[in-house]
Structure 1
């Protein structure tokens, strides 16, 4: 039985209506957010490990307006498994505003992939955090097979992976068929430091333009609450490695946050304090995501 109470309920995002001090450039893109629910219309998977409060498209669009962000990339959350209906419904509600990153069954048909492309999907997300036997390294054969399926569409492969667990990261992805996107700064906790072999491999992939990094979820990979000061070193390293391969995202609705829930306006201002130069902000918030997610030219209200 699929019950919304079958897995622990997680915190809801901060509901306070408050805009950031930073002003985002025209056409700015939030490159990492999730639509969850309504659960009665889009029920969650029985095998999920948490239950989010409803975080609907209507709520999210209100958040974008509050933050002054024009466009967004919706990423399939784990609570839906390979059932992408909630995300696809959001994409088709405003094709110029939204792009998507899906989670798929490897047996999916080419026709279904093509229909997803028309709906606005531009990447596939693979979770390798929960791989049972990490001693065997990354499941490179499976990832390569998926990459070859999506390459004709110009899509990328987004990895949810702790890069610190893979010291040969750069070597592993030599000659990978499609662009790679790593979420949450590579998902390596700050305790491992910037000299960790896996994080250094991520920087190498950045420098060689073989990967992109999402500057998202700093609260997920550091100790302590806002302003996550121990994250600054990782932030500075990825900017120095290749600022043209960086994108930013809110990570709304911040599922499974077990520390103090951040306010999205504060997260925007934190990014502004870490990327001070206006040209750098424009690259990360607008130019880079437009290239990665195949957005049309921005002409004002979408």
Structure 2
């Protein structure tokens, strides 16, 4: 198992701070390993990144809400997220790994729901969690029964391979990492065009995240700005932002979170758009109190 680089230990406060009630709609927690053992066959293991460190990061950034997303590292065992939600308090929600919908008992899934976990994420194939068509349909049926949302992590090459899986879904769907289009292809990129079509359906949402890995030019990530602007033009009421802290499977030094927040300011230069992405849209999608 390769060693992946840890998060920047010295996050800086963005200038200016984001609006009150802002939400980091995707971050993860890892370890300590003695308390939360990695599942057998996990595709990766990250350096320790606890909920206490994450909450301190959010205080530094001016973030007041968040969504803790279960990493494939732990599979169907969600104790690390359950404990993190208890520590974080009512301003935080969770997103399960979809594997639990196949392996977890009804009572365990009810426990997740009661703790504030309201969605399930389907990870890309390269991270070691895959499903047959039958199992996928069973998982989606369970999501529909629960009233949850489905979340999809794109492949490194974009969403085109996965598109047949989710393009006809009628439940709320969150697409991670902007669908991972290739900025070198501009408006001709197939993943970008596919996501723009999905946004016309009304039940699809997009997370503005993973800027540093989508970019082909590197910081300050100018080549990703047109992608974000295309989504903002298409569906400003169905975009959210996530830090993806602590940046799993990074082989290059992860960025400073202050830089990522300020990159969002470049995506959405008006205060109205910024409030939609950081406050209003997450409130609507994740069910936070207004």
Mapping of residues 195-234 of structure 1, within 5 Å:
195-234=188-227
Residue 263 (structure 1) aligned with residue 262 (structure 2): no
2:174 maps to 181
Cα distance in 2 between the residues matched to 1:169 and 1:139: 15
| 1:57 aligned residue | 51
1:9 to 3, 7, 10: 3
> For the Cα contact (< 8 Å) 1:225–1:260, is it kept in 2?
no
Q: 1:238 to 1:141 in 2, by over 3 A?
A: farther
The unaligned stretches of length 5 or more in structure 2 are none
In the TM superposition, what are the counterparts of 1:101-112 in structure 2 within 5 Å? 101-103=95-97, 104-105=99-100, 106-112=102-108
Separation (CA, whole Å) in 1 of partners of 2:197 and 2:4: 36
1:89 paired with 2:71, answer: no
Question: Conserved in 1, the CA contact under 8 Å of 2:181 and 2:190?
Answer: no
Aligned to 1:4: none
What displacement does 1:35 show? Answer: 0.4
Q: Measure, in 2, the Cα distance between the counterparts of 1:215 and 1:229.
A: 14
> Could you say what secondary structure the match of 1:130 adopts?
helix
Aligned pair partner of 1:283 in 276, 279, 288: 276
Give the deviation of 1:140 after TM superposition: 5.8
Distance in 2, Cα, partners of 1:157 & 1:268: 25
Question: Aligned residue for 2:126?
Answer: 130
| 1:16 positional shift | 1.6
Residue 32 of structure 2 is aligned to residue 44 of structure 1: no
Gaps spanning 5+ residues in structure 1: where? 1-6, 298-302
Change (3 A) 1:243 1:142: farther
Which SS does the other structure have where 1:31 is aligned?
strand
Choose 255-264 or 161-170, whichever is displaced more. 161-170
In the TM superposition, what whole-angstrom CA distance separates every residue of 1:137-195 from its partner, at most 9, and x where no partner exists?
x9665433212212233210101123745279389622x14111111001233244332
Matches within 5 A, 1:69-80: 69-80=63-74
User: CA separation of 1:56/1:172 partners in 2, compared to 1, >3 Å: closer, same or farther?
Assistant: closer
Partner of 1:18: helix, strand, or coil? coil
Moved more, 75-84 or 281-290: 75-84
Whether the aligned pair in 2 keeps the contact of 1:34 and 1:77 (CA below 8 Å) is yes
Equivalent residues of 2:182, 2:214 under 8 A apart? yes
Contact 2:31 2:50 in 1 (8 A): yes
Other structure's SS at 1:194 match: helix
CA contact (8 A) 1:218 1:231 kept: yes
Structure 2 CA distance for partners of 1:255 and 1:8, relative to 1, 3 Å: same
Normalization by structure 1: what TM-score?
A: 0.87
Q: Deviations over 1:278-297 (max 9, x none)?
A: 11111110111111111123
Q: CA–CA distance in 1 between the matches of 2:30 and 2:186?
A: 33
Distance 1:70 1:167, change over 3 A: same
SS at 1:254's partner residue?
coil
With 245-254 and 78-87 compared, the bigger mean Cα shift is at 78-87
